[in-house]
Amino acid sequence: MASVMCNYFIFKGALQDYNSESANISEIANVMVQIQLINYVNQGLQLPKGQTCVCPSEFSCSYLGTSVPRCYMSFTVILLSPDESLKYFSTEFMPLTPSGNIDIDSMSPQQKQAWQQPHTFYLTSKPSAIDVFVHHMGAVINAHTGELTQIQTVVHVDTFILPLNSVIPSIENHLSMQSRNLNGTILQTQLTVAYSMQCKGGLIGRNCDLICNEAVTNTTIAVCQSNITNFSYTCTYMKNGQVQNCLPCSWGIVQESYCQNSNEGILTLSATDVVSSSFKVATVVLGVLVGTLLILFIITFIYSVLMGRRVKGSVHSYNNTTSGHNYRSTLRSEGSANRLLLQSTNNESHNQVRQAPTAAPRSVPQLNALPAKSSFRKATPLPLGQLCDVPSLSDTLNSTLSSVPLPPSKEADV
């Protein structure tokens, strides 16, 4: 326990404490940052790795005796700029309520003032982020078993990060506080902070490092120079006096209004080869969309070609089946290959094309032509005896001969 406490205070001692506005204010400051802690919420009074800082409700925690453990949190705010050491401020250990909020009612007046007042930092350049570390000092209890893990120790509870890269500082005499709700990166507890960032010493720009003047030809254009790199820029003024859309001028400024090119002339916007980030993002998004559409088009084209071939093959197989050229007919034709005469006869008969009979052309009869002779036979007139129901001579002879007996024939005996 003693080693943990010693390491914690060694860590704090390695940082440079800026607890008040008057601390080392004589240094050259280009940026002023103010930070105020508003509220902290730790629902469930959690600690990392399934631990807690109070006795769980389902356990008695008799090992604690008559003392009731509470959660005490301290907040360390750290700022880091590229060209100087870390700067921080740290609060005392503040008690939490059973619901997990800061217990302001149980604080002394001095503690309340220290918690509610804004803390001011003076930096030579704009910081990239504000980091807040939360630590607990006291008992550590297993939330699942109710066993005491450690007592009177310091535990890192959560970390909050507030990025500042996209924040444009205000200029002098235009200080404004902004509020942000942050979620922790370890336990996702909540921290509410208010902050402001202001350029000092007549400097402006996104990084508070530009000394700017109005262009001679256009008062909406600012001709600027960095006090850190001595690089020149042309920018546009905002309504609050800040500048934006700054373009670098590699060869300096000409006519106190424009970027100069390599020939000491005016550098056009297209020649600067400077593309805004929004245009780059739009180009990347458009390229991704075009690539996706191209891939979908290729897949659709290949699918349509394959489906066309499948449909064509189905139609071809259907035509072969209906025309009689099936597998059995092929076997019959291959099996009769040795019968040359029959094969040739059948082939000749098959090769002959049956044609429908052609009707003979009709001839137009002449006007003086005689009618054609009828092909019907003329009726033979009946004998007169048949007409009068009198038997004829042939009938009489036939009946007479049939009644006379005839001698047997010699051929019949044989």
Which stretch, 39-53, 247-261, 377-391, has highest mean pLDDT? Answer: 39-53
pTM beyond 0.75, yes or no: no
Residue 372: pLDDT band by 50, 70, 90 thresholds? low
Strand partners, 199: 31
Chain-centroid distance of CA 147 in Å reads 47
Characterize the bridge pairing of strands 16-17 and 87-90. parallel
Q: Which helix (H) or strand (E) holds 91?
A: none
Long-range residue pairs from 51-57, CB within 8 A, at least 24 positions apart, any chain: 51/140, 51/141, 51/142, 51/143, 51/149, 51/155, 52/140, 52/141, 52/142, 52/143, 53/136, 53/138, 53/139, 53/140, 53/141, 54/98, 54/141, 55/141, 55/146, 56/141, 56/143, 56/146
Task: Check whether 413 has a pLDDT greater than 90.
Answer: no
Summarised one tens digit per residue, pLDDT across range 338-353 is 454 444 444 444 444 4
Nearest Cα neighbor of 125 from 30, 226, 2 is 30
Task: Check whether 163 has a pLDDT greater than 90.
Answer: yes
The residues near 184 (Cβ < 8 Å, ≥ 6 apart) are 134, 157, 158, 159, 160, 190, 191
Characterize the bridge pairing of strands 51-52 and 72-79. unpaired
Summarised one tens digit per residue, pLDDT across range 43-56 is 999 999 999 999 99
Summarised one tens digit per residue, pLDDT across range 382-405 is 554 444 454 554 554 455 445 555
Amino acid code (one letter) for 60: S
pLDDT of residue 407: 55
Strand partners, 259: 253
- Rg over alpha carbons for the chain, rounded to the nearest Å, is 58
Residue 89 tokens, joined:
């401020």
Nearest Cα neighbor of 41 from 182, 179, 144 is 182
Nearest Cα neighbor of 194 from 173, 208, 179 is 179
Alpha helix ranges (H) inside 226-383:
277-322, 327-335, 340-351
Domains defined along the chain, listed by start = 2-199 (2.60.40.150), 210-277 (no CATH)
DSSP conformational letter for 382: P
Task: Check whether 272 has a pLDDT greater than 60.
Answer: no
Nearest Cα neighbor of 135 from 62, 93, 74 is 74
Task: Check whether 114 has a pLDDT greater than 80.
Answer: yes
Report the alpha-carbon distance of residue 385 to residue 207 in Å, rounded. 152
Report the alpha-carbon distance of residue 17 to residue 7 in Å, rounded. 17
Chain-centroid distance of CA 308 in Å reads 32
Tally the residues of the chain. 414
Residue carrying the six token digits 């006090």: 227
Report the alpha-carbon distance of residue 95 to residue 103 in Å, rounded. 6
Residue 9: pLDDT band by 50, 70, 90 thresholds? very low
